[in-house]
Structures are given as structure tokens and as C-alpha cells.
Structure 1
């Protein structure tokens, strides 16, 4: 019995020694990590907002004469040029009216010619007292009335010609013609201004945004304090992400900023203009915009992957003076691209760990392996905000 007891104690002793040796080895083994050295820098101030695509101009094509639509002469959803024929309205009634007015004009011209001839004949006779002055005055009055009648009917003929021209409905602007609202055989009315179709100018094209008045105020304060470098005349670039997640290749520029706040929403309206030669941006669709509004100056920003976000802020792992991992709470600012702006908690020279974070515990020794990995340090990037050790 004593033999078994001695054997059990021996086994337990060996197990305890092995576990102690393993724990000692784990505690002394340094974990390889990559770090960045914190430094103050300037980065783009990127504001992300949803936007809606809008045409630069919209023209409603309406009937300017009353009649029956004979033909639609354009293809729906295609680009049309300014002045291109879109519809034809039956001109028969207006042609008859034009012919009637033209006949009246011919008759009035004949009457006027006769009246003017009488005045010409009477002029020498009145000088010779062959006719009375009263007769000559009456002849002149008749001639003036006949000439005025000609002028009036000429104006009516021009109006009839315009009305006849309106039977061919043309595009008022160049752009993309939409769906036809009326079909062949439909009666359109000039007094009611029957809508026939719409033409939208979509190259270039607008994208409109709404930004909260509070954010606009914060930007103005940051400009005043020098935290944001943005001058009144600086061009503000905008880049778009399309609904399918792809990037729109051509950037646009902010061309309008409203100076009043919408009372219903508490927002300020902005608008950017984009080239749209291929018609990829469609009127009415929603897009995601990144607005590059100046540069944030003298700030600290670190990669998003280095930050653990909590309800009360965030934390990072740093390398302390003893070469061990330590937790450092930080106050987070804006997320600019893939970097968190750090308002407090870090200072230039701190070494922030950016790899193997899941293996680390506070107090564990670390081995900085930036050079051994063969990767370029973060300072080599064009817009780096921190440099690798």
C-alpha cells in the first residue's frame, strides 16, 4: 500500500513540474508583433453622406396647340438634340385657318392698293381745285384704314404660321427623352398644356446631399481654430460609390452650398456636379459620397484594425518601456477612411501594436518584427499617419 502511495506522489510531482515549466516557458516567450510609431500629421477630412442623382435641367414638353397626335418621332429613353422633332400633331385644321387668313390678307392688300391709288390720283386734282379738300381727306383716311387692315391681317398670318409650326413638337433642350405620356390618336390641348414627355439633361449631372446643421457648425469652428485647413475658394472634391458597391471613376466638385437650414429636417443642402458622358449615373438613384473637405492638421490617426471599440470609447495595445504589451484607453474622433482619429490617449512616439492582437494579454513580452516581415513600414505610404518601427 505504501508502494502505491509513493508512486502516486511521484507522478503528481512530475505533472506539477511539467506544468510549471510550460507556464514559465509561455510567460517568457515573446510574441512577434508589428507596430507603428505614433506621429502627428495631416490627413484628408473625408465626410461620408448619402446623395441622390438629379438632372442639371428638366424640360417638360407640353402641347402648344390643340389637336390629335399623329406620330411620335423619337425613341423613348434615348438622347435627343435641342430642336429635334418629338411628336407631330395633325396640322389639317391649322393649315385651313392659315389659308383662310392668307386669303383675307390678299383681299386686304388689293383694297389697300386701290385706296392708295385713289389718293395718288386725287393729289394733283385738289391742287387744281378740281375736287374738294374734303374728298381728298376722305380718300386719305380710306387708304390709311386699308393699310392698317393689311398690317393687322399680316400679324394674324404670322400667329397662324406659329401655330402651324407648333404642330411639330420639338425638344426645348438637349438631353435624354423619357417615356411618352401621350400616344398616337390622343387629343392634346393648348389651354390645358397637355404634358407629352420630359427631357432631362444628364451630362453633366448633379448629386445632391443633406448635411446636418450641427456638422456644418463643427466644420466652421474647426476652420476657425486651425484644426481644418479649408479656404473659402478651395475646390471640394467628391467621389461616389454606386449602388452595386463599385466606385464611379470620375470625381466631381461641390458647386453649391445653401446658406439656410431646412426647418423641417435641420439640414443644409449641398450639390456636386459630375461629368456623365456615358450616362452611368441615372436620375433619381441613391449613391454614397465621400466629400474631401480640406485637411485635418496636426492630428493623430491610427489604423482601424489597431483599435478595440467599446461603448465608452476605445482601447489600443502598445509596447511599454519594458517591451511588454499594455492596454491604453483612447478617446476616438472621426473614422476617416480606414483610420481612427485619436483625440486623446496617445502621444507622438508611442508604439501601437497592429498585429497578433488576439494572442496578446497585458504584460506579455513582445518582439517587434516589422523588419523581419519584409513589408514596407506604414510611413512609406503616400498618406501615412504613423510610421513603422
Structure 2
């Protein structure tokens, strides 16, 4: 029987031979070069970019008129439907006019009576003027007739004023729209008794064309816009005021541009904000009071602007914007940037990059500065309409 050590020796020798044969193959796999990671890049090019400031705002009615009666009476007719457009002067309600018609007739009769008495006193004054000249009547009698004549002339004026007043009351029995606009639902029904200048309105007329957009903005931003307007940097309309376009709540563009006013603004002491007011044409009534919208103010065009996709820009520990760039040797470099504002899905970069630079926008986690990479062209994000204040 062989010793155990004699049996183990051939097995150990065989295992050593196999390891020797396998060693070069293992070293070849470990020492071979890995392929560089694939990263998506965008090659930068300059383009003209419209410089636009977008400001949040809320619409407000141009004019609002609460309709109240100016005379007392029973509502006899309503001449409108809720929500319809009405013109200035259009009749909305009718109050029973019979008492006011009677008052007009009474005042007309009183005026005729006063005028007849005046004519009689005029003839009497003429006769007394001749008689006093002949010393047939005393001067005192003539003076009395003259005084009565002047008093009656004043009475005629009073009668005319009273007639005008009752005629006006008769007109007020027809309640008309003081402005053009859209009428609300009726707040009081036909048949109710209404009183002159009562607190409760009968209905409301709101003028929607044009319409206001009130914009809350910090005083610093308002000063910047004012300076830009003075140096002619803002796009203006026919009246020389900054041109404003409106984006609706659903993101669509309002079909007519308006104008921005800087006059008559005050700084809110509590919030430090200023309310700017834009006037926007609204012939179709698309904009309604209370809507939240965005006002777009054009500040001209940036020529030869560099746009970098936002996913290619990050921040370092100091808060500075940075980007990874693939150089001509396909090595990764980190650049510190200066950015102006956003333009849709892009940053407008003013320093740190140049046209022709290849900026990494995907695969950022695969490489670090100094690494070799395989750049492939990445799809650009869609360019949004206009830009926003950065």
C-alpha cells in the first residue's frame, strides 16, 4: 500500500500545471483596455434669441357698473337676458312710469300758468311806465308793479326747473345701461318695489373690452423694466408704451397684444411689491375677470446667444453653474459658466462656453473630468416659445 503523500504529489503537480496554463489568459483579460463609456453630447451653435420677461398677473374688469334705480316704483319689465352683451344706453328695466307722467303734466300746466301771469304783468308794467311818466300814478305804484314782474319772472324759472326735474324722473323710470358690456343675472325680479338709490343692485354690467391685467412685481424688477423702457430696449406699440402679450391659463397665446403702464404705481409697504397694470384688447371676451395669466414683455433680441440644454448644467458646491465638455481629444472637462436666463428648456450662457463646444447632456454619471469618452450626438429638447426671466 502506497503512502498518502505519494498519491497527493501527482495531483498537486497537475493542479499547478493547469494554473500555469490559465494564468496568461487571466492576465490578458485583466490587462486589456475597456471601451470608453458612451455619452450624449450637444454641439453648441449661436442663434438669435428673443429676450422676453414673463410676469404672472390677474385679469380685472375695465369697468363695472352696479345698476340701481334712481326713482321709486314697481319694476314692470326686464329687457335683457343674463350674460348677454348690452350697449351703452340700452334699456335694462322699466319702472311703472304713470306717476311720473302725471307729475310731468302737472308741472307743464304750472309752467303755462306762470308764463300767462308773467305776460299779464309785462303788459301792466308797460302801461304803468307811461302813466308814471305823465304823473298819473305814483312812483311807488310803478315800483310795486315792477317788483311783481321780476318776481313772476323768477317764478317762471322755478316752474321750468320743476318741469325739468319731473321729466328727468320720468326718464329714470327707464333704467338704462351706463356702459357697454356683459350683463349679469338679475338680482331682483319683476313686480318688486324698488326705491331710489337703494343699497341692493338690480344687476351688474361689466365691460370686458379692453380688460386689465394687474401684475404684482418686486420694486427691483419694476425699476429694471422702467430703465429698459427709457433706453428703448422694450418693444413698444403705437402709443410708445411697452407692448404686452398674454398667455392664457391653458398655455395658449391671446390673439391681441396690449400695452403696459408704469404710471400711478405705489410700493406695498407690507410685501414690497408694485402693481403694474396692462391694458389688453378683448373683443371676443376670451379673458374674464379673475383669471391668472402670464404677461410677456419683449426686451429685444440677443444676437449670437448660446443655448445649453438645462440637463447639461449643474451646480458645484459654491453654487456656480457648471457643464461637462468633451474636448477635441474626447476627454471630459468641467467648465464654470455664467448664465443669463432660461429660454424654454435651455440656459442662455454668457461665459464659459463657445460655439462648437460639445456639452454632455446624457451619461453624466459614467465619466468624470479627465476621463476618455465616446461622444454621440444627443437629441435637442424642443425650444419653447420665448423665454422667461432668469
In the superposition, the TM-score normalised over structure 2's length comes to: 0.78
Number of equivalent positions: 369
Measured after TM superposition, the shift of residue 93 of structure 1 is 2.6
Root mean square deviation of aligned Cα: 3.9
Pairing 1:26–2:35 present: yes
Displacement, 1:167? 1.1
Deviation per CA, 1:196-230: give whole Å up to 9, x if none.
Answer: 33322211222110111133355678899x9x945
Secondary structure in structure 2 of the residue aligned to 1:83: coil
Aligned residue number for residue 181 of structure 1: 187
Q: Structure 2: where are the runs of 5+ without partners?
A: 1-10
* Aligned match of 2:165: 159
Is 1:316–2:323 an aligned residue pair? yes
Match of 1:366 in 2: 374
Could you tell me which residue of structure 2 aligns to residue 117 of structure 1? 123
| Alpha-carbon distance between aligned partners in 2 of 1:118 and 1:217, rounded to the nearest angstrom | 78
Partners of 2:385 and 2:105 lie apart in 1 by 76
Identify the range of structure 1 (246-255 vs 127-136) with the bigger mean alpha-carbon deviation. Answer: 127-136
- Specify the SS of the correspondent of 1:69: strand
Report whether the alignment pairs 1:199 with 2:208. no
Structure 2 counterpart SS, 1:76: coil
Structure 2 distance, partners of 1:137, 1:333, is 92
Asked if structure 1 preserves the Cα contact closer than 8 Å seen for 2:219 and 2:272, the reply is yes
* 1:133 CA displacement: 4.1
- Alpha-carbon contact 1:300-1:342 (below 8 Å) kept: yes
Q: Deviations over 1:96-153 (max 9, x none)?
A: 3223222322322332233233334444444555444443433333333223212211
Question: Is 1:243 paired with 2:277?
Answer: no
TM-score normalised by the chain length of structure 1? 0.78
Q: Superposed, which structure 2 residues align to 1:373-384 within 5 Å? A: none
1:62 alignment partner, one of 61, 64, 68: 68
**How far apart in 2 are the matches of 1:220 and 1:96?**
61
Tell me the equivalent position of 1:387. none
CA contact (8 A) 2:343 2:386 kept: no
Q: Which segment is superposed worse, 170-179 or 11-20?
A: 11-20
- In 1, the alpha carbon distance for the partners of 2:93 and 2:133 equals 63
Q: CA deviation at 1:281?
A: 0.5
How do residues 249-260 of structure 1 correspond to structure 2 at under 5 angstroms? 249-258=255-264, 260=266
| Partner of residue 93, structure 1 | 99
C-alpha separation between the residues in 1 aligned to 2:56 and 2:132? 88
The whole-number CA distance in structure 1 between the counterparts of 2:257 and 2:244 is: 6
- In the alignment, structure 1 segments of 5+ residues that lack a partner are 385-389
Cα distance, 1:356–1:85 mapped onto 2, change above 3 Å: same
Distance in 1 between residues matched to 2:236 and 2:269, nearest whole Å: 25
Conserved in 2, the CA contact under 8 Å of 1:38 and 1:347? Answer: no
- Quickly say closer, same or farther: Cα 1:220–1:161, change in 2 above 3 A: closer
Q: Secondary structure at the match of 1:323?
A: coil
Instruction: Indicate conservation of the 8 Å contact 1:64/1:193, yes or no.
Output: no
- Could you tell me whether the CA contact under 8 Å between 2:77 and 2:93 is conserved in 1? yes
Corresponding position of 1:216:
222
